[in-house]
Amino acid sequence: DFERHFLGQWRARYPDADWVRPENRQTHYVDSDPSGAYDAARTHAIFSAPGFFETMPPIPGAVEALLEMDREPGVRVRICTAPFGDGEGMERCKREKLAWVRRVLGERWTHDDKFSCTKDKSVVPGALLIDDK
């Protein structure tokens, strides 16, 4: 649950700063919201902090829905996620997301046929993309 995890981190780090409820945000990227509540420097500091992605809670009901889809005959479910940042930060993000998948879903979901971490999700074959945004 990226939205709620980010907001919890934001409010803990910057208790006096403005913030926007996730359901009221108007853009895909946090720091692009027209409210101006979130600036790039502070949002990126949160995303770049060690452990941010690995400690993210799942969206309520998402794990159950994913496992239910995976049990459907003829349906091949993959996790496709985009890493944040560049260089070492991006590599850490990938490692953390993989660790999250291992912890929440199990080792089977970390294999290449079940997990892709790429900046361009269009390179991952599939008929349907369900996104958390």
pLDDT tens figures, 12-70: 999 999 999 888 888 888 888 888 899 999 999 999 999 999 999 999 999 999 999 99
Determine the length of the chain: 133
Check residue 91 and give its pLDDT: 94
Check residue 133 and give its pLDDT: 61
| Tokens encoding 106 | 């199990």
pLDDT tens figures, 75-95: 999 999 999 988 999 999 999
SS3 16: coil
> Which of the residue ranges 80-84, 100-104, 116-120, 128-132 would you say has the lowest mean pLDDT?
128-132
Check residue 132 and give its pLDDT: 66
* pTM for this predicted structure: 0.87
pLDDT at 6 over 80: yes
Check residue 125 and give its pLDDT: 85
- Strands annotated E in the chain: 79-81, 115-117
Residue 81 forms beta bridges with which residues? 117
C-alpha pair distances (Å), 124 with each of 9, 42, 79, 114, 133: 31, 31, 10, 11, 18
Check residue 30 and give its pLDDT: 86
Check residue 8 and give its pLDDT: 96
Interstrand relation of 79-81 and 115-117 (parallel, antiparallel or unpaired):
parallel
